[in-house]
Amino acid sequence: MEKLIDPFARPISYLRVSVTDRCDFRCVYCMSENMSFLPKKELLTLEELDRLCSGFVRMGVEKLRITGGEPLVRRNILTFFRAMTRHLDSGALKELTLTTNGSQLEKFAQPLFDAGVRRVNISADTLDADKFAQITRWGRLPQVLRGIEAAQNAGLRVKLNAVALRGFNEDELLSMTEWCAARDMDLTWIEVMPMGDIGNEDRLDQYWKLTDLRARLAEHYTLTDLPESTGGPARYVRIEETGQKVGFITPLSHNFCESCNRVRLTCTGELFMCLGQEDNADLRSALRNHPGSDAPLEAAIRDAIRHKPRGHDFDYSRQTVDGRVSRHMSHTGG
Ligand SMILES: Nc1nc2c(ncn2[C@@H]2O[C@H](COP(=O)(O)OP(=O)(O)OP(=O)(O)O)[C@@H](O)[C@H]2O)c(=O)[nH]1
Ligand SMILES: C[S@@+](CC[C@H](N)C(=O)[O-])C[C@H]1O[C@@H](n2cnc3c(N)ncnc32)[C@H](O)[C@@H]1O
Ligand code: SF4
Ligand code: SF4
């Protein structure tokens, strides 16, 4: 079947899927404490998610990243992971992976490995238990640490994702780097993005520029730029002293969109062609209106890809948050 190519000749081979907007944490930069969630009937069923993802795989998607909200709080989510194993077995899908807050990994790490997952990105912005409770509001660090350990014991490669927050985790730059190095884990820093109204938090105050973070790291270690890219916004360096990889996701200070290879599906079946734009296509109707045939769904996907924009419009340069998008990260799936 003909592969998906967008108007800027970028092949679309990576689908990020948000399987729920719910979460057991309330990270201050992501959600308000009294966040309201979608009614269950709005969500795609696991069977519908399977049909959609399988359609994308037939059209050339080779990497599937499951995210949310917290993907592992979606009921029976393992059924979905196990259903995707058939695409790994056939060779059509090269990677099945997830981004998680780690809270449920003690229970899920082994079954995920058994379903074919080999790598997992776990989010943790601090290794201090009190600060962790403060930033996640509802999260508890020891539970996440047990989850990380379970993931490694199951054979999953772990990458830690940390949002760089000025005045919050600046002082942990070296200790977190060393903690990850000691456990053979890579570490990726993310700049905070203007997604969704989360009440009184001001992301401009929280914004810690990664060029500054990198310069501080370079005062202590020898950094070698790595040419590799996963087609996403992360750029990587190797720390020569520890051998580990450190990534920088700089959506605001670096333009990486030219090599974009991804689109994202929300838990309600909207396809967002770009994380930083509002334009989306309703795939749920194409799915529900044609239960017996996948052709209308495939046509809707192709049509959507024809509208993929060149890039995002986030801009902090004038010291106001321009180009912000109104939906939450947990809806689009960070
Ligand atoms: N602006 C922008 N940010 C993105 C995009 N994809 C990922 N991000 C950001 O990067 C964060 C981390 O992404 P991950 O879920 O760990 O995935 P990744 O970095 O693409 O993963 P790998 O490269 O496969 O390891 C996300 O939560 C987003 O904040 C994108 O397409 N555009
Ligand atoms: C939305 S979460 C979904 C998956 C899972 N709940 C987790 O936390 O890993 C995915 C990633 O988005 C990041 N994130 C959430 N809100 C963000 C924001 N406003 N700016 C930058 N990153 C954000 C989180 O830190 C996390 O690494
Ligand atoms: S970043 Fe992840 S863990 Fe934190 S509130 Fe958002 S979805 Fe939940
Ligand atoms: S901002 Fe949009 S175009 Fe740029 S990398 Fe992200 S999804 Fe792709």
DSSP characters over 50-66: HHHHHHHHHTT--EEEE
The pTM assigned to this predicted structure is 0.93
Map tokens 């060779």 to a residue. Answer: 91
* 121, 191, 228, 272: residue to mutate for ligand 1 pocket, most atoms within 8 A of CB: 121
Q: Which of 236, 279, 229, 304 is nearest to 259 (CA)?
A: 229
For residue range 34-89, what is the model confidence (pLDDT) as tens digits?
989 999 889 999 999 999 999 999 999 999 999 999 999 999 999 999 999 999 99
Asked if residues 189 and 162 have their Cβ atoms less than 8 Å apart, the reply is yes
Q: Which of 162, 287, 303, 187 is nearest to 237 (CA)?
A: 187
> Residues 101-118: what's their mean pLDDT?
98
Task: Quote the CATH superfamily of domain 14-332.
Answer: Aldolase class I (3.20.20.70)
Q: Which residues line ligand 2 (CB under 6 A)?
A: 23, 29-30, 67-68, 70, 99-101, 123, 161, 163, 190, 192-193, 195, 329-330, 334
pLDDT of residue 333 exceeding 80, the answer is no
For residue range 319-331, what is the model confidence (pLDDT) as tens digits?
444 445 556 666 6
Q: Which residues line ligand 3 (CB under 6 A)?
A: 23, 25-27, 30-31, 68-70, 101, 123, 330
For residue range 233-244, what is the model confidence (pLDDT) as tens digits?
788 999 999 999
Give the Å distances, CA to CA, from 260 to 111, 144, 225, 289.
31, 31, 20, 31
- The answer on whether 30 is annotated among ligand-binding residues is yes
**Predicted pLDDT of residue 250:** 81
Of the bound ligands, which one is closest to the alpha carbon of residue 192? Answer: 2
pLDDT of residue 230 exceeding 90, the answer is no
pLDDT of residue 201 exceeding 90, the answer is no
